């Protein structure tokens, strides 16, 4: 764990629960792509910097989920590094209370105000800032989050963030968190057309051929959509649908999972309604979903 692994040329990655990219912008000067899931990860990254004699120039965040920005605050405080995040992700990185509020749809209870959903704040800049390392190309990959971004280094290595997850994760959990189903599918289509020497997803093994993993992620989305429509052959409330999906995919309901999968379910319902596969109706002051 936390092993530094060469990728190509000046590009490496650190193997940890959320893979962290490392790109050399100078002989002993690096930038990280994401910073892991908590302050302790930041401490481990600082130890690597000190052991190697490297200076941390900046951190590029793919998106603002806590497992990708958890080390930001500590590393910025300790090294003075710049931090870059794009669009809405920038606001969520600077004001992390937005994340549990967004998932919950209101003021989040204490059960959602913890380090796995709410990182410490960090002073993030937009990608348009002149200090952004110009050698690295930012690639819009929206869907999993509003403005998720991948990064392509000059070594033709593409860091994909959470645009795809591993086959093992798909098999184990069935439903992966996402914000916008249609945009996720478009992003998968775009990744499928990409040409690169190496692709590094945050939660899957690096690969030279990303097509099969894209296919598995796409198929799982369609499977979940079909299951929701099937359940809605009988009118369902959102909460009843959520409970039945947890049962169908053998998930354990917790406050956190209720928020994460509940938010994902509502995104699926929007997508299916837009496709004309579901109708939303008010019956006896209750919103119900019905297959068309």
Domains, the chain:
3-162 (3.60.15.10)
Q: How many CA atoms lie within 13 A of 137 on its CB side?
A: 12
Q: Which tokens sit at 5?
A: 């692994």
With 0-12 / 13-18 / 19 or more C-beta atoms within 10 angstroms meaning exposed / middle / buried, residue 222 is exposed
Question: Tens digit of pLDDT for each residue in 97-152?
Answer: 999 999 999 999 999 999 999 999 999 999 999 999 999 999 999 999 999 999 99
Alpha helices (H) along the chain: 39-52, 66-69, 72-79, 88-94, 98-104, 167-173, 181-193, 211-231, 238-248, 255-274
Q: What is the CA radius of gyration of the chain?
A: 20
Separation in Å, CA 83 to CA 64, 73, 213, 291: 12, 9, 30, 45
Question: Tens digit of pLDDT for each residue in 22-51?
Answer: 999 999 999 999 999 989 999 999 999 999
Instruction: Kindly give the pairing relationship between strand 82-84 and strand 137-140.
Output: unpaired
Question: Tens digit of pLDDT for each residue in 48-64?
Answer: 999 999 999 999 999 99
Give percent above pLDDT 70 in the chain: 100
Beta bridge partners of 282: 287
Alpha helices (H) along 195-237: 211-231
Q: In angstroms, rounded to a whole number, what is the distance separating the alpha carbons of residues 15 and 48?
A: 12
Q: In angstroms, rounded to a whole number, what is the distance separating the alpha carbons of residues 210 and 193?
A: 10
Mean pLDDT of the chain: 97
Q: How many CA atoms lie within 13 A of 43 on its CB side?
A: 3
pLDDT of residue 234: 97
Question: Tens digit of pLDDT for each residue in 157-188?
Answer: 999 999 999 999 999 999 999 999 999 999 99
Q: Which tokens sit at 166?
A: 């591993």
Q: Which tokens sit at 54?
A: 């490297």
What is the pLDDT averaged over residues 271-284?
A: 97
Q: Is the pLDDT of residue 205 over 90?
A: yes
pLDDT of residue 1: 83
Query: What's CA 84's distance to the chain center, in Å?
Result: 16
pTM over 0.85? The answer is yes
250's CB contacts (< 8 A; 6+ apart) are 174
Of 75, 89, 101, 205, the residue nearest 138 (C-alpha): 89
Length, in residues, of the chain? 292
Instruction: Kindly give the pairing relationship between strand 82-84 and strand 124-125.
Output: parallel
Q: In angstroms, rounded to a whole number, what is the distance separating the alpha carbons of residues 41 and 69?
A: 10
What is the pLDDT averaged over residues 15-19?
A: 94
3-class DSSP state for residue 73?
Answer: helix
Assess contact for 89 and 102: CB atoms under 8 A.
Answer: no
Give percent above pLDDT 90 in the chain: 98
């Amino acid at each position: 764990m936390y092993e530094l692994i060469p990728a190509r040329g000046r590009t490496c990655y650190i193997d940890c629960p959320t893979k962290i990219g490392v790109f050399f912008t100078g002989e002993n000067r690096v930038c990280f792509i994401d910073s892991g899931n908590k302050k302790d990860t930041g401490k481990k990254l600082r130890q690597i910097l000190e052991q190697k004699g490297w200076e941390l120039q900046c951190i590029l965040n793919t998106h603002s989920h806590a497992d990708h920005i958890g080390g930001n605050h500590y590393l910025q405080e300790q090294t003075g590094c710049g931090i870059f995040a794009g669009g809405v992700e920038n606001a969520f990185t600077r004001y992390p209370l937005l994340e549990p509020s967004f998932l919950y749809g209101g003021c989040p209870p204490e059960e959602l105000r913890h380090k796995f959903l709410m990182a410490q704040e960090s002073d993030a800049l937009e990608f348009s800032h002149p200090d952004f390392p110009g050698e690295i190309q930012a690639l819009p990959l929206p869907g999993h989050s509003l403005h998720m971004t991948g990064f392509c280094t000059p070594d033709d290595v593409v860091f994909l963030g959470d645009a795809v997850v591993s086959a093992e994760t798909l098999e184990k959990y069935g439903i992966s968190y996402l914000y916008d189903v249609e945009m996720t599918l478009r992003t998968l289509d775009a990744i499928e057309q990409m040409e690169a020497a190496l692709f590094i997803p945050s939660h899957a093994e690096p690969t030279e051929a990303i097509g099969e993993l894209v296919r598995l992620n796409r198929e799982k989305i369609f499977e979940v959509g079909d299951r929701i429509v099937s359940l809605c052959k009988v009118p369902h409330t959102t909460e009843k649908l959520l409970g039945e999906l947890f049962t169908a995919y053998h998930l354990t309901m917790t406050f956190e999972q209720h928020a994460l999968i509940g938010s994902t379910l509502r995104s699926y319902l929007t997508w299916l309604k837009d496709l004309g596969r579901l109708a939303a109706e008010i019956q006896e002051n209750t919103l119900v979903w019905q297959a068309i």
